[in-house]
Chains A and B, each alone.
Chain A
Amino acid sequence: MSISLRTLLAASVAVIAAGPAFADNADGQISGDITFYTHFANFVDNGRWDDWVAEFEAKYPGTNVDVVAVSNYRKDMPVRFASGDYGDVLNVLDNLPPSDYANYYAPIGDLALRDTHQFVDRYTVDGEVYGYVYGVNAEAVVYNKDAFERAGITSVPTTKTELLAACEMLKSAGIVPFQINMGAGWPMQQWDKAALLFANDGGYYEQALTQADPYAPENAYGQSISFVEELFDAGCTEPDYTANNWDQSKTLLGAGEAGMWFLANWSVPQAVVAGEALGLENVADSLGMFPLPINDTGTPAVLLNPDWALGVSANSDNIPTAKAWIEFLLTETDVSNEAGFIPGDTRIEPTMPQLVELLATSPATIEAGTPSSDFKQAMADARLDFMTGTYIRDLVLAEDGAAALADVNARWAAATGN
Chain B
Amino acid sequence: MNFSSATAQRRLVIVGFLIVPLTLLTVFSLYPFFQLIWFSLTDWDGLSPNKTFVGLENYRRIFVEDRALLLPLVNSAYYFVGALLQLALATYFAVILSRGLPASNMFRMILFLPFLLNSVAVSIIFRDFLQLDGGLDALMTLVGLGAYTQEWVQNPNIVKWSLMFASIWRYLGFMLLITYGALQAVPVDQYEAARIEGASEWQQFRFITFPTIAPILGLQVILATVGSLEVFDVPFLITGGANGTKTFIMATLEEAFEFRRVGLAAAMSIILLSIVMVVIALQRLLFQRGAVT
Tell me, rounded to whole Å, the shortest Cβ–Cβ distance linking A260 to chain B.
21
Q: B47 to A397, Cβ gap below 8 A?
A: no
Q: Is A73 an interface residue (CB 8 A)?
A: no
Q: Which residues of B contact A104 (CB under 8 A)?
A: 47
Tell me, rounded to whole Å, the shortest Cβ–Cβ distance linking A379 to chain B.
9
Q: A78 to B132, Cβ gap below 8 A?
A: no
Q: B260 to A242, Cβ gap below 8 A?
A: no
Q: B156 to A185, Cβ gap below 8 A?
A: no
- Pick the residue among B154, B238, B258, B261 that contacts A388 (CB under 8 A): B258
Given A183-B240, A243-B127, A243-B131, A82-B156 contact (CB < 8 Å) = no
Q: Is B113 an interface residue (CB 8 A)?
A: no
Closest to A241 in B: B154
Q: Is A239 an interface residue (CB 8 A)?
A: yes
Q: B260 to A397, Cβ gap below 8 A?
A: no
Given A82-B47, A104-B47, A240-B131, A397-B258 contact (CB < 8 Å) = no
Q: Which residues of B contact A393 (CB under 8 A)?
A: 242
Interchain CA distance A241-B243 in the complex, whole Å: 11
- Pick the residue among B48, B153, B243, B257 that contacts A103 (CB under 8 A): B48
- Pick the residue among B49, B128, B156, B259 that contacts A383 (CB under 8 A): B259
Within 8 A of A (CB), among B174-214: none
Q: B47 to A242, Cβ gap below 8 A?
A: no
Tell me, rounded to whole Å, the shortest Cβ–Cβ distance linking B238 to chain A.
8
* A386-412 near B? 1/0 per residue, CB < 8 Å: 001010011001010000000000000
Tell me, rounded to whole Å, the shortest Cβ–Cβ distance linking A175 to chain B.
17
Q: Which residues of B contact A241 (CB under 8 A)?
A: 154, 242
Tell me, rounded to whole Å, the shortest Cβ–Cβ distance linking A179 to chain B.
15
| Total chain A interface residues with beta-carbon distance under 8 A | 28
- Pick the residue among A183, A185, A380 that contacts B259 (CB under 8 A): A380
Closest to A185 in B: B240
Q: Is B239 an interface residue (CB 8 A)?
A: yes
Tell me, rounded to whole Å, the shortest Cβ–Cβ distance linking A349 to chain B.
38
Q: A242 to B259, Cβ gap below 8 A?
A: no
Closest to B154 in A: A242
Q: Which residues of A contact B156 (CB under 8 A)?
A: 397, 399
Interchain CA distance A364-B168 in the complex, whole Å: 56
Q: Which of B240, B241, B254 has the most CB of A within 10 A?
A: B240
Q: Which residues of A contact B258 (CB under 8 A)?
A: 75, 95, 385, 388, 390
Q: Is B46 an interface residue (CB 8 A)?
A: yes
22 contacts between A and B (CB under 8 A): A78-B46, A78-B257, A81-B47, A95-B260, A96-B47, A100-B48, A103-B47, A103-B49, A183-B242, A241-B154, A241-B242, A242-B238, A242-B240, A243-B128, A243-B153, A380-B259, A380-B260, A385-B258, A385-B259, A390-B241, A390-B254, A399-B156
Q: A242-B153, A243-B128 are in contact. List 11 more A-B contacts (CB 8 A).
A: A78-B257, A78-B260, A82-B47, A96-B47, A182-B242, A183-B240, A240-B132, A242-B238, A243-B127, A244-B240, A393-B242
